[in-house]
Chains A and B, each alone.
Chain A
């Protein structure tokens, strides 16, 4: 899939994602070793985006499993279409009646029906959910398990089982083995500690806020129409704001939004009144906004 770490970096860049050396190394290893990648980091640094880009770059389809509290196997793996099964049995009542009409005894009738099990427990009545889709896919895919920390620990244990063998057993149908090992990306916002087993199984990647050089490159890439001087000022200001001990420091996606809105407003440089007016794009909590406003001189000091 990839020949070298440099190739990863280049191809991600072509797909408009700035992957630093660490990110591309991990992606390279994951592809080579067939290991899941667990990505941690603050919100909005491009964790989910990485998986999407990976699917773009490799030309594999993306299957996404969004985790939330209460997610269970039924929603993640497969579910029997019970209503459909019921409907079919109703419609086929006569045929079933015919089938057992001449059965001499009750046990005989039961075993005749049992012989038709396959008709009702087949893939026709199974709705595959993301995990089973990924495993049964005819072409290799990228499987994104988003925000795994939101799911319960039991689900995590179950996921671990799937990820280590890439096979699942459906009691009525037998074991389904993956045709291709999917590229698996898990993301976590660290709402809770993940289990050791899962971490052991995965390659670990921590994505932090980018350094100024990378962030500048990202902004130029995502907001190509921005003037160079303004981009520089935006990055300098955002980096300063992140140093302010806020409740939620601005993420990369927020700095991109901010840069975009500044371009729309036709700004040539950052002046205090403009920054104050657009600050809500960047900082989302009332207290944080006040804080930034209070330190505006400092924030804008190096942007001139």
Chain B
């Protein structure tokens, strides 16, 4: 069983759970304490020793179910046959086995007395002989189940069963009892067969899952945002959430490390009273770091919608890092969507911002118009603490770029950071007016993938406002 647990831990690690060697050892010794009899207890044991984040429990559950046989899934009758629930029959069997000292096949022995987990071990042994590692497609399930079955000597089992039945008959059991015992044995045999098939199926699922996880993490975060399919967009949400958490954690760490500042005289004097007025311990004032105000301005036309979605999600998941976040979306008309975020949970607010805000989603994007409107209506509310995070491809459909508006805005704020979901090679070609806007921006970054988006926001949170 230890091997199986270790293999399971390997799969958890592949699913990005951090599990140290010490924890793996804990899991082994803890599961030795509780045993394997009760699946729920066993599962809780592994969860308590291996999973230290509540958010990872879901992943754990999923992988656990792929890994460890669920007797419930075999159906009520078979489960009963495998469990110790039929003690009377089992008693009679045990008596016969002990008394007659029969020479039985190893597998029969297992079938007679074994628990589900022991049978599973036998199946795993068989699976290795059958070359299960070559399993790849759903269509092969039947084939491999048969191959594993072939590893066991079924005729020997049947012979043994006959032998046992004869021995029982010789002991003078009535036909009703005999039929019940035969039925019990056959149920167990059937359960064993089904376990084999279930094992192969789970193995297949496990592989598919493993491959899928890999894909999400590695490929998706490098894939251009505009090329994501709706399915991938759904998967990306969790990737972005992870990214946000990482940035937040790192930020918390850095804040703690700060140890300089002015003396907090009140606290120091108060403590010094304990030492007869001698300031033995000096306390420093916690320096309040100015959190930046952030305004996000997102182009939500079709071409860059995915990028806007993820940036909004990222920024709003990081809200604690900013003193205030306001969001605007535009195609050509510009509208504030902050309210949506205050009223709905993030996910729904983003959907609303991308589809239901009071702007015309079907016209062509016009950055110039949007900026000039923004400059006329919102200029008063801007100040030197505010950073503007702009997201758009600056493809202006040959409208008037009105770069003066952006310059005007820049004069009022701390800085403008422009994220462009289009490759750098395209800036300035065709209707792209990026070069006209770039001089008004403090930072202009290409932001084609989630990976790049993460870098920019990380950078923003950590160093941008430190520069004062």
Contacts and interface: CB of A to CB of B under 8 A. Distances in A.
Interface in B22-51: 22-23, 26, 29-30, 33-34, 38, 40-41, 44-45, 47-49, 51
Nearest to B252: A192
Contacts of B249: 193
A29 B33 contact: yes
A227 B361 CA distance: 57
A22 B44 contact: yes
Contacts of B175: none
Contacts of A26: 44, 48
B256 A152 contact: yes
Nearest to B30: A29
Query: Range of interface residues on chain B?
Result: 20 to 34
- Residue with the highest number of chain A CB atoms closer than 10 Å, among B40, B52, B275: B52
Nearest to B52: A199
A193 B49 CA distance: 18
Contact of B34 (A25, A199, A206): A25
B20 interface: yes
Contacts of B20: 200
Given A200-B22, A200-B23, A206-B54, A32 B44 contact: no
Interface string B192-209: 000000000000000000
B274 A82 contact: yes
B251 to A, nearest CB: 11
A38 B48 CA distance: 9
A278 to B, nearest CB: 26
Nearest to A40: B54
Interface string A92-126: 00000000000000000000000000000000000
B247 to A, nearest CB: 12
Contacts of A190: 54
B41 A5 contact: yes
B345 interface: yes
B41 A25 contact: yes
Given A5-B34, A33-B33, A203 B18 contact: no
B47 A22 contact: yes
Contacts of A83: 274
Contacts of A40: 54
B276 interface: yes
B48 A203 contact: yes
Interface in A202-244: 202-206
A204 B48 contact: yes
B345 A245 contact: yes
Interface string A174-210: 0000000000000000101100100110111110000
A206 B29 contact: no
Nearest to B40: A21
Given A21-B40, A200-B22, A206-B54, A29 B274 contact: no
A274 B230 CA distance: 46
Interface residues of A, number: 31
B18 A28 contact: no
Given A32-B33, A196-B18, A25 B45 contact: yes
A71 interface: no
B408 interface: no
Nearest to A81: B274
Contacts of A301: none
A9 B284 CA distance: 49
Contacts of A5: 34, 38, 41
B54 A21 contact: no
Interface in A136-163: 152-154
Nearest to A86: B276
Nearest to A28: B34
A21 B44 contact: yes
A46 to B, nearest CB: 16
B343 to A, nearest CB: 9
A303 B132 CA distance: 52
Interface in A247-276: none
Contacts of B44: 21-22, 25-26
A29 B40 contact: no
B239 interface: no
A49 B26 CA distance: 26
A61 B23 CA distance: 29
Contact of B29 (A33, A41, A193, A202): A33
A284 to B, nearest CB: 19
Interface in A1-56: 5, 21-22, 25-26, 28-29, 32-33, 35, 38, 40-41
Contacts of A245: 345
Contacts of B51: 204
A290 B102 CA distance: 75
B291 to A, nearest CB: 16
Interface string B249-280: 10010001000000000000000001110000
Nearest to A192: B252
Nearest to A27: B48
Contacts of A32: 33
A196 B57 CA distance: 16
A193 B252 CA distance: 9
A29 B26 CA distance: 10
19 contacts: A21-B40, A25-B45, A28-B33, A29-B33, A29-B34, A33-B26, A33-B30, A41-B54, A82-B275, A82-B276, A83-B274, A86-B276, A152-B256, A193-B252, A196-B18, A199-B53, A200-B23, A204-B48, A204-B51
The 9 closest A-B pairs by CB, nearest first: A199-B52, A25-B44, A22-B44, A206-B54, A203-B48, A204-B52, A26-B48, A21-B40, A25-B41
Given A25-B34, A152-B256, 16 more contacts: A5-B34, A5-B38, A21-B40, A22-B40, A25-B45, A26-B48, A28-B33, A29-B33, A86-B276, A154-B256, A200-B22, A203-B26, A203-B49, A204-B48, A204-B52, A206-B54
